Chains A and B, each alone.
Chain A
Amino acid sequence: MTRLSLDAISYRPGDAGLFDTLTLEIQGPALVALVGPNGAGKSSLLRLAAGLARPATGEVRLDGHGLASVGETERARSIAYLPPDGRTAWPISARRLVALGRIPHLKPLRRLTADDEAAVDLALERTETSHLAGRGFDTLSSGEQARVLLARTLAVAAPVILLDEPTAALDARHQLGVLEILAAEARRGAMVIVALHALDLAVRHADRIIALDKGRVVADGAPERALTARVLADVFGVEAPDGLMAGGLRLKR
């Protein structure tokens, strides 16, 4: 079991205070969706959890160890992170891009081992991108690029996977595809925390939903318990007369 704890976190990006003694305990394996309007603090929360940002006060702990005291490589092996604007500066092949996810596992000045190659193959397979392996990343469609970047994240083989808006700019089918891949990772034992805008996707795939608004947790729990009509109205300014679970799109079998 994996346990990620944010203990009385305060964080002030820029001048404005965002989180003020925020406490949150997330246990895995699970698929946890982080929802909230723009500027609610979803990205900041993920960056804090990934150890990419330091809280002003408080501590982020993974299985009881403070992230600040864990070495960079050790942290990189435990927590995989996919930023919102996934891109590559160079037109490398999809397979080479996915293989970059193995960097935390490589010994200094050594090449990929058989284990690394196997992890890359597995990540390509799980994201259904094996057939794209030899293609240049720049020649792929946005949907294919998103899946390859997701494969890069899975290739780390970390117990904790944090993703910031992996479905942005994707069509309905690819959004569902990505969520199914993430749900499968959670079933295999990973703690997956994903920031999402699509509330219906969150409700139908996540085991737990954490709703943020202006740096505060306004709802937290099983999907339907968390996203009540009041939360939808107050936080998001929308309503779902038929409930979020019913209707919606499904992948065609």
Chain B
Amino acid sequence: MTGWQLNALLGTVLLLASLAAVFAASGGAGPAALFDTSGSLDALVLRELRLPRVILGILIGAGLGAAGAVLQGFFRNPLADPGVVGVSASAGLGAVVCLYFGLSASFALALPMAGVAGAALGVVSLFVIAGQGATATTLILAGVAVNAAAGAFTALLMNLAPNPWALAEIAYWLMGSLNDASWTEVGFAAPVILTGLIMLAPLGRGLDALGLGEETARSLGIGLGRLRLAVIMGTALAVGGGVAVAGAIGFVGLVVPHVLRPFVQHRPGALVLPSALGGGLLIVLADLATRLFSGPGIPLYLGVLTALIGAPFFLWLVRQSQRRAP
């Protein structure tokens, strides 16, 4: 299967899954309801709740998938993932700071910008601690450190929360969910995530060259400084924008590139676009599942579901990489 065919296939499946997610459990409302201008409840639910929710899910999944593929290619390590290495937690911290101090009320883009700033801080810390060409162990340890730091400050803010409701709001928000998705959230997140994706998309050639090591990549004319900057900014935007509006949704960036890697013959550069499409697909399906499984009054959170799927997968991947190389 060529890269083009894989992307076409993933794109088609994503489209079908999205349509299914929009219309599933919608009380039998058909596509016609989308264009129904009579203001019926069914049409309103589809247009104002379902559609933005699915679109936001695609965007967030695409950001996480692409960021995971790029981080794995850049660190030459299949364990790199925005959640595992602490980028999502840092973005979460940025957003919690924004929520806590009420900055989100002062201007509209404050929340996504805080998420991006937090994510950028997380990636930069990771680069500083792990360095380039980090071994699997160093990378994961650096991720533990970044996760711990972000978690500590987040816990501090929760500790200092003025009342239980504020605390509960932060706690639920951190679990990651698309429950509150509306066109407003899409409006915030879309420009940020899309900018990130546009920055990550052309990095493929550099990632391919990096597979042969830094010296070879440089000898092939790849400017590592520029590549590093693009990875930091692109990852921060693609992950931070999503985390800011939907909380931390883990393991998407770990699972999706890993599953798709054999289909692109293990080329790190060819993995970025399929991972974006696959990430969108995974979030749409997982979010659909949370909607279908949720009992009345007790919503199952999307981030909880992806963690339940992702954590065993992560364990398995760690075992695999131990067996293969030191």
Contacts and interface: CB of A to CB of B under 8 A. Distances in A.
Contact of B211 (A77, A89, A101, A108): A89
A79 B265 contact: no
Contact of B267 (A72, A79, A87, A96): A96
State the main secondary structure of chain A at its contact with B. mixed
B322 interface: no
Contact of B220 (A87, A88, A89, A103): A103
Given A72-B223, A103-B205, A92 B211 contact: yes
A79 B219 contact: yes
Contacts of B205: 103, 106
Contact of A88 (B77, B211, B218, B222): B211
A76 B76 CA distance: 22
Given A80-B219, A100-B220, A108 B202 contact: yes
Interface residues of B, number: 23
B219 A88 contact: no
B132 interface: no
> Which applies to chain B's interface (DSSP): helix, strand, loop or mixed?
loop
A86 B212 contact: yes
B213 interface: yes
Contact of A92 (B77, B220, B265): B265
Interface of B: 76-77, 202, 205, 208-213, 215-216, 218-223, 261, 265-268
A104 interface: yes
Interface residues of A, number: 33
Contacts of B268: 89-90
Contacts of A83: 213, 215-216, 219
Given A72-B221, A76-B219, A88 B212 contact: yes
A38 interface: no
B78 to A, nearest CB: 9
A115 interface: no
A92 B213 contact: no
Given A72-B223, A93-B265, A106-B205, 11 more contacts: A76-B221, A81-B215, A81-B216, A83-B219, A86-B212, A87-B213, A89-B77, A100-B212, A103-B208, A109-B202, A156-B220
A222 interface: no
Q: Which 6 A-B pairs have the closest CB atoms?
A: A76-B221, A89-B76, A81-B219, A83-B215, A90-B266, A73-B221
B215 A52 contact: yes
A205 interface: no
A23 B144 CA distance: 49
Contacts of B212: 86-89, 97, 100, 152
Contacts of B208: 100, 103
11 contacts: A47-B215, A73-B221, A81-B219, A83-B219, A86-B216, A87-B212, A88-B212, A93-B265, A97-B212, A103-B220, A103-B221
Nearest to A102: B220
Nearest to A136: B266
A126 B222 CA distance: 26
Given A86-B212, A90-B211, A103-B208, A76 B220 contact: yes
Given A92-B265, A92-B266, A109-B202, A101 B213 contact: no
A100 B205 CA distance: 9
Contacts of A86: 212-213, 216
Of A79, A83, A90, A101, the most chain B CB neighbours within 10 A belong to: A90
A76 B218 CA distance: 8
A16 B76 CA distance: 31
A204 interface: no
B267 A92 contact: yes
Contacts of A76: 219-221
A253 to B, nearest CB: 34
Nearest to B202: A109
A6 to B, nearest CB: 17
Q: Which interface residue of B211, B221, B267 has the most chain A CB atoms within 10 A?
A: B221
Contacts of B216: 81-83, 86
Contacts of A81: 215-216, 219
Contacts of A3: none
A100 B209 contact: yes
B202 A103 contact: no
Contacts of A18: none
Nearest to B77: A89
A164 B216 CA distance: 12
A100 B208 CA distance: 7
A214 interface: no
Given A86-B212, A87-B213, A50 B265 contact: no
